[in-house]
Amino acid sequence: MNFKKELAAILFELLEQEISADELELMVEKPKNASHGDLAFPCFTLAKLKRKSPNMIAQELSEKIQSPIFEQTEVVGAYLNLFLNKKLVSEKVVSEIITQTGHFGAHEFGGGGNVTIDMSSPNIAKPFSMGHLRSTVIGNALALIVEKCGYKPIKINHLGDWGTQFGKLITAYQLWGDAEQVKQNPIKELLALYIKFHKEAEIDSSLEDQGRSWFKRLEDGDEEALMLWQWFRDESLKEFSRIYELMNIQFDSYAGEAFYNDKMDRVVQLLEEQQLLVESDQAQVVELTDEQLPPCLIKKSDGATLYATRDLAAALYRKENYNFAKSLYVVGHEQSLHFKQLIAVLSKLGYPWAEKMVHVPFGMMLKDGKKMSTRKGKVVLLEEVLTESIAMARHNIEEKNPNLANKDEVAKQVGVGAVIFHDLKNNRMNDIEFSLEEMLRFEGETGPYVQYTFARGCSILRKGNWQADVPPANCHTTWEKEWKVISMLIEFPNAIQRACENLDPSQVAKYVVDLAQAFNKYYAEVKVLEESTEQPARLALVYSVTVVLKEGLRLLGIEAPEEM
């Protein structure tokens, strides 16, 4: 269903194979204005090659092209504009969707290769932040998108469960903690202890030393330290799991930073063997002057290892364990330098696969134009955001469709879908303004709008008694009025491919909004349910739209209720 490719193949033959089909395909454009056709071929390059005017080339091609998939060609200046054969193409795409259903739009270029996706990765004993939400949502969508393109995604939650902060936390707990309170409200209590530690440490400088020595004990496997750490970790994970469950997100691995504790000596040894470790300010670092980066810290003076060391060990482990074709890190852009250093150190160690590692950065979540912070009491608890969104969705349902059968289930699908869609609809590098009202609107570019359009499609199909397994045998229609929607359906595989290549789920989010808009416009203009010879074809179109909307939403990690 790739008409750019088909046109390129036809031109390749006509031009006696002077230019490769791949190159020709890259030249084919999709006109912005539909009155200029469905495809356009600019003839400038050929004109240079053949020393003729571009217009002449376009004329020649226009006369020679003969293919049933084009019903008309037109020459405008240097351009050859082509109009697809609406009947042939429409019937082809609709019957393809009917037979393939959710599989429509799939690609195979991933070739079964593994893609590890480092995503979510919240820090133990701290609230799940908006940044972690973005990482979770973007990572999950990327997993679904790369899978649709033939890769095998491996979702890894690189939990922040190790580091000097745990030494501080243990110190604070020993001094001021209360087991009962922690049990009742783990993250809140642990966060309070952590904040208290920092406040007290401003006055009592010995606290920092105590913190360091507790972390050292933890790294050396001290029983008491480990027990407390394990307890904090378990309690935190319980809270995080509630959020993942609400969002219907699963991981293939929870190997967090602590998992690499016994794998870091090897990293240090590898660096030493290649004489990459140097002493600087009482710490061991890898100099990255040639790469124009600041040195990468590997080991502190007391022997404690660092975030970067654990990431080096993790990268080696992932390569050896999963032999990835690509290794993605969905982490906020403020960590760009860290990932540049990580990749640079691995390249210095001589690993060619370092090139397959990609930091997938994203912008911040803002509230009233300011960063949403988890410190200083300004905590925005993600769980609250989700439950509030679900409650608002529930309220909307009560107003719009009070007789709906499974209101709670639908409210959850809509409320959570709204939060996810709001995150994914913009290019991931953009900062996004947090607004529940905006997310939950039923019009405009929102999750509920797309879900609502899907539900409307389903309702039309129910009323029209559509039988999904019966493709329209004889379509008595020219597909003229349907053409805008059809040309959107044709685009679905391309949107998925772009999303995969650019690691950008917004390509799919924008696509489903555009399709929903085109469909709603069509539905306002054409009486789909009216008895007519065209009705079967129209219902087939409605069905195709529902299949693609549902699959598009699925790729974003959003469910599609059939009624709402």
Q: 459-498 mask for ligand ARG (x: CB under 6 A)?
A: ----------------------------------------
Name the minimum Å distance from CB 210 to ligand ARG: 24
Total binding residues toward ligand ARG, as defined by CB under 6 A: 9
Question: Read out DSSP for 77-96?
Answer: TTEEEEEE-HHHHHHHHHHH
Q: Which is nearer to ligand ARG, 357 or 518 (CB)?
A: 357
Measured from the CB atom, is 327 or 487 closer to ligand ARG?
327
For residue 39, what are the CA distances in angstroms to 28, 30, 69? 7, 5, 12
Nearer to ligand ARG, 314 or 343 (CB): 314
CB of 289 to ligand ARG, least distance (A): 23
Neighbours of 362 (CB within 10 A): 23
Supply 197's token pair: 């530690």
Distance of alpha carbon 56 from alpha carbon 45, whole angstroms? 13
Residue type, 27: M
3-class secondary structure, 70: strand
Smallest distance from the beta carbon of 141 to ligand ARG, in angstroms? 17
Residue 427 half-sphere exposure, CB side, CA atoms within 13 Å? Answer: 4
Rounded to the nearest whole angstrom, what is the least distance from the CB of residue 342 to ligand ARG in the complex? 8
In the complex, which residue's CB is closest to ligand ARG? 160
Task: State which residue, 238 or 462, has the beta carbon closest to ligand ARG.
Answer: 238
Cβ pair 49, 41 in contact under 8 A: no
Q: Whole-angstrom Cα distance, residue 150 to residue 143?
A: 11
Nearest distance in Å: CB 302, ligand ARG: 22
At position 449, the amino acid (one-letter code) is Y
Residue 40, SS3 per DSSP: strand
Q: Are 410 and 404 in contact (CB under 8 A)?
A: yes
* String marking each residue 300-339 x if it binds ligand ARG according to CB under 6 A: -----------x--x--------------x-x--------
Q: How far is the CB of 361 from ligand ARG (least distance, A)?
A: 11
Tokens of 474: 């004889």
- Cβ proximity to ligand ARG, 45 vs 253, nearer residue: 253
Helix (H) or strand (E) holding 63: helix 54-64
By beta-carbon proximity to ligand ARG, the closer residue of 119 and 549 is 119
**Nearest alpha-carbon partner for 395 in 407, 406, 383, 384:** 407
For residue 447, state whether it binds ligand ARG (rule: CB under 6 A): no
Contacts of ligand ARG in 101-160 (CB under 6 A): 118, 121, 123, 158, 160
Residue 217 CB, nearest approach to ligand ARG (Å): 22
CB of 252 to ligand ARG, least distance (A): 15
The residue among 83 and 307 lying less far from ligand ARG, judged by its C-beta, is: 307
Q: Are 308 and 99 in contact (CB under 8 A)?
A: no
Give the binding site for ligand ARG (CB under 6 A). 118, 121, 123, 158, 160, 311, 314, 329, 331
